[in-house]
Structure 1
């Protein structure tokens, strides 16, 4: 399928939110609490008439935070956002693998009026990745009997940090703008 077909078949923001079973309230909370800073690059984005195909799932903590920030940017720049669910669009996510191997989400594909790809962002801003890497450095090996329990605790730590760290939100905002306004 082409990017145009993926975009046209993807969920509207309202439909994506309506189907959410996990992290819906949390995503909305971040969206409401995030005060997007003024940035002149938003005016340039308005003039480019971009769309965003967001590859996402509601169970993903990164998506919970990043989608809220993306929606603020899209609102300011008049960009239409549509959501393609990763797990039912493996052929799409496989075109945007992280490090060539991982189906990490969210991935944002920015497309122009002709449905040509102009930028891809995701799954994390640099400072968020640094936090995750640092928080997981003391995990035992995957074959350790305590790995699963300790890994779940790290996921909760990340989830809570994503909900309560405005510096992460600003980092995501800046990272997305840097990528799409190059």
Structure 2
């Protein structure tokens, strides 16, 4: 399938959000509380490019929970149509966008032009958010430790809360996506 076909296969953001079971409340919290900066020149330029986006995601993913609402705000301001594809049901596409050539990390935002050609890709996270993840992982005990699974669960809860409430992360994500789109 080409990217136009993948785009056509995707669901609307509203359908995706309505189907969510894990992070719906957190995603909506970020959406309701994030306000994009006054960036009219940027949004006007994006509108003229007439791009669309395919978002590879899953509702259990904390990164998707925080990144998707910011993408949706950008898409609203710049009239960028968005279609969502669930990663686990679309591995053929996902495997073309592996992180570091091996990880099925999400979300991945594939920006395409009117002809269905990829013009940019973003994801799974902004650099400063990646640094936060790396620091959080350093505090974990070895995988052989008796409390490893418990500590991973605690770390994931802390990261989810941070993604939901840390507005500095939201700004970093916005700026990271913006830097990708400026190059389009």
TM-score normalised by length of structure 1: 0.98
- Segments of structure 2 that go 5 or more residues without pairing to the other structure are none
Distance in 2 separating the partners of 1:163 and 1:44: 30
Secondary structure of 2:171's aligned partner: helix
Per-residue deviation at 1:144?
Answer: 2.2
Alignment of 1:82 onto 2:91? no
Per-residue deviation at 1:19?
Answer: 1.2
- The aligned runs of 1:1-12 (5 Å cut-off) are 1-12=1-12
Where does residue 99 of structure 1 map in the other structure?
100
Distance in 2 separating the partners of 1:69 and 1:128: 14
Per-residue deviation at 1:145?
Answer: 2.2
Where does residue 131 of structure 1 map in the other structure?
132
Per-residue deviation at 1:110?
Answer: 0.3
Where does residue 27 of structure 1 map in the other structure?
27
Distance in 2 separating the partners of 1:11 and 1:143: 41
Alignment of 1:149 onto 2:158? no
TM-score normalised by length of structure 2: 0.97
List per-residue Cα deviations over 1:58-87 (Å, max 9, x = no partner).
000100000010000000000000000001
Secondary structure of 1:11's aligned partner: coil
List per-residue Cα deviations over 1:104-157 (Å, max 9, x = no partner).
000000001111100000000011011111111021222222111111111011
Distance in 1 separating the partners of 2:43 and 2:137: 35
Secondary structure of 2:100's aligned partner: coil
